[in-house]
Structure 1
Amino acid sequence: MSYPLPLPQSHPLLTVSKPNETIWQIELHNGDDSRLTRQLLEEAFLPALDVVEKDWRKALKSGRGDAALVIVGNTKQDKFFSNGLDYENAIKDPTFRKEVFNPWIKRLLTFPIPTICAINGHAFAAGFLLSLCCDYRVMTSGRAWCCFNEVHFGAPLPPPFAQIIKVKLVDPRLVRKCALEGHRFVPRELEAAGVVDRLVDGKSSDVLAAAVEFAKSREALAKGQVWGKIKEELYREVIVAIDEGRNVERPAKL
């Protein structure tokens, strides 16, 4: 595979690169705020995950199994990691959630190598969800908020969202604050709660560099080839919610 690899090649919305032999990197650049559109997920993000896994499995056959994946927002700015879904178009698309969004959640949540999210700015709604689907989070210590704001719009949480909040935040007080109060968490709160593993001073490039270094400390965990299988058991409630294909009558504002 030749890197860097822009996807889709006709109109790149993300780029897959390989900082070294064992680390892969996905950088979102659907504008400055990296909205999660159907095109981004279907034509870029899901194919990018396939590329990374295929390349890793090829390395395994050669006796090399160390691997990790870092995901970062547009590094040409320091304001956003991801501003969530392209809401207006998402609610007009009756198949988006079932055919694209939910399968993407499941794929990322159970990815077979360690995933590290480099949160280089605000992560709202589905952007925060993206970060929680990763195994580890490295975040800027600067001005950045993470939140689910559905309660402020009178919209219920889709089942996979609710399940991910419960299994990733764990503490009932934290879950309540996140889901029922729509609290905007700042970096220090997330670090203190154990949601973020490391805070980094500086710009997006510094957050990314720290995430790559963190990834190196976890890459050996991929060698056993059971990382994804273990996560399937840990997050069974989320997977069941996705596979059941349950829908809410009123789409959430994401």
Structure 2
Amino acid sequence: MPFLNADGDIYELYLGTEGVELDPDNPENRFGLDWVETVSGLLDEAAANAKGLVITATGKFFTNGLDTDYIAANYAQLPAYLDTVHALYTKLLTLPVHTVSAINGHAFGAGAMLALCTDYSVMRDDRGFWSLPEAALSMPFTQGMAALVRTRLSDAAATEAMLTSRRYGAHDAAAAGIVGEAVPVDQLVERARAVAAERQHITGPNIGAIKEGLRAPLLADLAVTTPATVL
């Protein structure tokens, strides 16, 4: 399960299990309900104690998004499940500390959108893709997810990413404005920590309030209850 590395004022939230690159119970860091609950609680802990937060993982995946096994077994619960994911996005978007994604591997679908919820992002430059595969998989975007991509990316980047399911390597993602920088893997977390540290002098409730105002229309879309018609 995800865990926090509380190293000084800048915390690191790892999306996978400590000491295990590929957890057999969740090898792709997918959004299982327990996983989402754990990440949400760790965000609360970081908000209360840290002055900056880096979100990363180890191994092949940053996160591969929605838990498709859960969805297949609980199809009628899909709207409620997506609302839970939206709530996680909302918490991260409004966290009262500066947040930086250090994308260590594949970030697909809901996992790619999780990276968009941080204030800044860096991505390893040698392997791994950021992608929204929904169009290729004949899956819709919820109102909140579409608003997230549209708000956080330029119109050109959002249009290409959402309509073509393109897989972006780090340099292409940086050129499109999807991530801030492409970084060598051995500098990835260090660079993300440096960005968070540069901003740590401006943190606290006022930053949370500014984020809420900055992202108010997006937060309103994420708060819309997912209709059963999403099925």
Q: Is the 8 Å Cα contact of residues 157 and 177 (structure 2) preserved in structure 1? A: no
Return the offset for 1:89. Answer: 0.5
In structure 2, how many angstroms separate the alpha carbons of the residues matched to 1:14 and 1:228?
A: 23
After the TM superposition, which residues 100-179 of structure 1 pair with which residues of structure 2 at under 5 Å, given as runs?
100-170=84-154, 172-179=155-162
In structure 1, how many angstroms separate the alpha carbons of the residues matched to 2:228 and 2:128?
A: 30
From 166, 178, 184, the counterpart of 1:183: 166
Q: Is the 8 Å Cα contact of residues 37 and 90 (structure 1) preserved in structure 2? A: no
Return the offset for 1:168. Answer: 0.6
Return the offset for 1:101. Answer: 1.4
State the SS of the aligned residue for 1:191.
helix
After the TM superposition, which residues 167-246 of structure 1 pair with which residues of structure 2 at under 5 Å, given as runs?
167-170=151-154, 172-203=155-186, 206-222=187-203, 225-246=205-226
Residue aligning to 2:48: 54
Query: Which of 27-36 and 155-164 deviates more?
Result: 27-36
TM-score by structure 1 length? 0.81
Asked if 1:28 is matched to 2:12, the reply is no
Return the offset for 1:37. Answer: 0.9
Q: Is the 8 Å Cα contact of residues 104 and 185 (structure 2) preserved in structure 1? A: no
Extract structure 1 runs of 4+ deviating beyond 6 A.
Answer: none
Paired residue total: 219
State the SS of the aligned residue for 1:221.
coil
**Aligned partner of 1:134: which letter?**
T
TM-score by structure 2 length? 0.88
Residue aligning to 2:20: none
From 24, 40, 64, the counterpart of 2:35: 40
Return the offset for 1:96. Answer: 1.6
Return the offset for 1:193. Answer: 2.4
State the SS of the aligned residue for 1:144.
coil
**Aligned partner of 1:48: which letter?**
L
In structure 2, how many angstroms separate the alpha carbons of the residues matched to 1:82 and 1:23?
A: 21
State the SS of the aligned residue for 2:223.
helix
Return the offset for 1:195. Answer: 2.6
Q: Is the 8 Å Cα contact of residues 124 and 146 (structure 1) preserved in structure 2? A: yes
Return the offset for 1:248. Answer: 5.5
Structure 2's unaligned 5+ residue stretches are 18-22
